[in-house]
Amino acid sequence: MDDQFKKSEKAIADLEFLQMLSAPEDKLNAILKINPGAGGTESQDWAEMLMRMYIRYGERHKFKVRELDFQEGEVAGIKSVSLEIDGDFAFGYLKGENGVHRLVRLSPFDSGNRRHTSFASVYVYPVVDNEIEIEINPSDINWDTFRSSGPGGQNVNKVESAVRLRHLPSGLVVECQETRSQGQNREKAIQMLKSQLYEIEMRKKQEAQAKIEGSKKKIEWGSQIRSYVLHPYKMVKDHRVEVETSNTQAVLDGDIDEFLKSYLMEYGGAE
């Protein structure tokens, strides 16, 4: 009986929480891009740790996670990665992850075993669907092709199937090497561009609305949002909502729901 009550209580809580995700884009899939900060191998390794964390988060929620672009680090880690996370309300749940993530640990790459601080940025935007119209002038795009790289790339790197587009008006650069087909990668790159342009316009409207309302809860894009400390003590802390846990391993294994929900409850589901 207690188990049934707990299940019912959780179902009600989940329904109440989903009401927070009322924006049109909240229900969409998400593209999550990770880039290391300055620091070479240290930051690139941290970026890969974050990639694993989000992949594990997706697995926990039975989301489908695909690599759209993967640039391997020279020694370890990654130079960049773009993941598409496919599932109900994927963007709604993850939109608060935008910002800089900070790691403090004893470096496995330092012969002196000294403590290092590393940074990586996370950028999340919704995957626009056919219901959202974004017009792009083909003459505004420059295309490059290159050979695929990274895990799984060994079978496809003999031909230039990967693509890179530059959108001249916005300055956005998008890379995609998801499939062996250059044509399919071009289509996905266009979709990724549309998603980023939509997210930029959405953010402008939100910032304008925040100014009108004189919102006190201002979120600075690109600011440090969360620290992951592995030494001299263990703690993960979200600096926006003051939520923290000492179970760092669980967080790095994808158990980040407490942080996601606390952020959305604090800021009303708005970025």
Residue 202 lies inside a defined structural domain of this protein: yes
Domain count across the chain: 1
* Domain membership flag for residue 11: no
Residue 9 lies in a domain: no
Q: Using the predicted structure, report yes or no on whether residue 223 has a pLDDT greater than 80.
A: no
- 151: pLDDT strictly greater than 60: no
Predicted model pTM: 0.77
- Phi, psi for residue 151 in degrees, rounded to 5: -55, 130
Is residue 33 situated within a structural domain?
A: yes
Interatomic CA distance for residues 156 and 165, integer angstroms: 19
The sheet with strand 243-245 has its strands ordered as 64-72, 78-86, 30-36, 115-126, 99-106, 224-229, 235-238, 243-245
Q: What is the pLDDT of residues 226-245, one digit of tens each?
A: 999 999 999 999 999 989 99
Number of residues that make up the chain: 271
Domain harbouring 100, CATH code: 3.30.70.1660
Of 182, 261, 264, give the one whose Cα is nearest residue 219: 264
User: For residues 184 and 163, what is the distance between their CA atoms, to the nearest angstrom?
Assistant: 10
Coil/strand/helix, residue 134: coil
Mention every residue, 6+ apart, whose C-beta is less than 8 A from residue 268: 20
Q: How far apart are CA 176 and CA 161, in angstroms?
A: 9
User: What are 202's strand-pairing partners?
Assistant: none
Residue 1 lies in a domain: no
Structural domain for 172, as ranges: 17-266
13 against 261, higher pLDDT: 261
Is 35 within 8 Å of 121 (Cβ atoms)? yes
Q: Which pair of structure tokens corresponds to residue 70?
A: 């993967």
Convert the pLDDT of each residue in 31-56 to its tens digit.
Answer: 999 999 988 899 999 999 999 999 99
**Mind listing the pLDDT tens digit for each residue in 58-71?**
999 999 999 999 99
Q: How far is CA 83 from CA 36, 45, 65, 158, 212, in A?
A: 15, 17, 6, 24, 34
Higher pLDDT, 256 or 208: 256
What would the two tokens of residue 185 be?
A: 């990668």
- Say how far apart CA 245 and CA 76 lie, in whole Å: 28
- Distances from the Cα of 176 to the Cα of 17, 68, 86, angstroms: 34, 5, 17
pLDDT recorded at residue 214: 44
Q: Is 22 part of a structural domain of the chain?
A: yes
Is residue 5 included in any domain, yes or no?
Answer: no
Report yes or no on 206 lying in a domain.
yes
